[in-house]
Amino acid sequence: MTIRFDGKVAIVTGAGNGLGRCHALALAERGAKVVVNDLGGARDGSGASSDAAKDVVATIEAAGGEAIAHGANVAVMSEVEDMVKQAMDTWGRVDILINNAGILRDKSFSKMSLDDFKLVMDVHLMGSVNCSKAVWEIMKGQEYGRIVMTTSSSGMYGNFGQSNYGAAKMAVLGFMNTLGLEGAKYNVRVNALSPTAATRMTEDLLPKEILDMLVPEAVTAGALTLCHDDSPSRMILCAGGGGYASSRIFETEGVYLPQEEQTPEGVIANWQAINDTSKQSPLEAGSKQTEKFLGKAMEYLQSKG
């Protein structure tokens, strides 16, 4: 089986450097027409330049592909809408969106300004929201769409000094889960990629011999897996250094406590059973938790006759 994207139009945000650049080049190599989005700022979000995006477009065109550059700031909806309009005016459709753009403003929470917290949330979370919103009705109308969020182990598991980044990266998973449900009947599938790669984001954090193993191409293989015709939906794929894993949120089976035991003391007394992982399972939607708890309550009432 060979994965191809012939006839597909893809938007990749933050595609001037690093992972985004690698995603854009790989999509183009496999037949996609690509909107190369990049504000061209530093990794802390400051500054702007269109040079990096134009260089990626030139590379794609030199190889016989089709691409356009757009410098939209993903945190500004009017700029995102203009980017999507250019894609539609040029090619008439948008099939794939990879929300890759991001910045870092790392500090311990004690030392972090709220401005730095908000800016990181705006770029990672609202950037993903803005871009997804701008293509959502297009994809529904086509009855075809593939959206990839970029999450992080820092969001799922925490990382010292990254409360802003971690909050944003966990938030995109909640966004993904709901969009996946809402897009299902329109063949719009939404997934998340959790990458580890040697990029501007990681160059100061890891030793060179490790960075040399963390090539972006290994992560891009995962990204393309999440946006082809037969992709899953609502999956978190972790990729880096040749390693691939999935991450899922599981919930224990839990217990039902009768009303007289619904106290902090009652909860603590049943702590072992509450934390028992032997029957844990992923839930398909938030409503499934409610169904489970109501089911337990009904079973209890029936047992009392």
Percent of residues, the chain, with pLDDT higher than 70: 93
* Secondary structure element (H or E) that encloses residue 58, with its range: helix 51-62
| Segment 40-98, tens digit of pLDDT | 755 555 555 578 999 999 999 999 999 999 999 999 999 999 999 999 999 999 999 99
| Segment 103-158, tens digit of pLDDT | 999 999 999 999 999 999 999 999 999 999 999 999 999 999 999 999 999 999 99
Q: Are 74 and 124 in contact (CB under 8 A)?
A: no
Enter the tokens of residue 136: 């959502």
| Segment 243-278, tens digit of pLDDT | 999 999 999 999 999 999 999 999 999 999 999 999
Look at residue 136 in the predicted model and tell me its pLDDT: 98
Look at residue 203 in the predicted model and tell me its pLDDT: 67
Higher pLDDT among residues 143 and 210, named by residue: 143
Q: Are 17 and 52 in contact (CB under 8 A)?
A: yes
Look at residue 234 in the predicted model and tell me its pLDDT: 98
Identify the CA nearest to 10 among candidates 129, 127, 90. Answer: 90
Look at residue 305 in the predicted model and tell me its pLDDT: 72
Q: Are 40 and 53 in contact (CB under 8 A)?
A: yes
Task: Specify the pTM.
Answer: 0.91
**DSSP label at 124?**
I
What positions carry a catalytic annotation? 165
Integer CA distances (angstroms), 29 to 22, 65, 164, 165, in order: 10, 7, 35, 31
In angstroms, the CA 17 to CA 215 distance is 13
Q: Are 97 and 10 in contact (CB under 8 A)?
A: yes
Average pLDDT in the chain? 93
Integer CA distances (angstroms), 133 to 128, 130, 137, in order: 8, 5, 8
Percent of residues, the chain, with pLDDT higher than 90: 86
Q: Are 33 and 10 in contact (CB under 8 A)?
A: yes
Look at residue 26 in the predicted model and tell me its pLDDT: 98
In angstroms, the CA 201 to CA 222 distance is 19
Residue with tokens 């000094």: 161
Look at residue 241 in the predicted model and tell me its pLDDT: 87
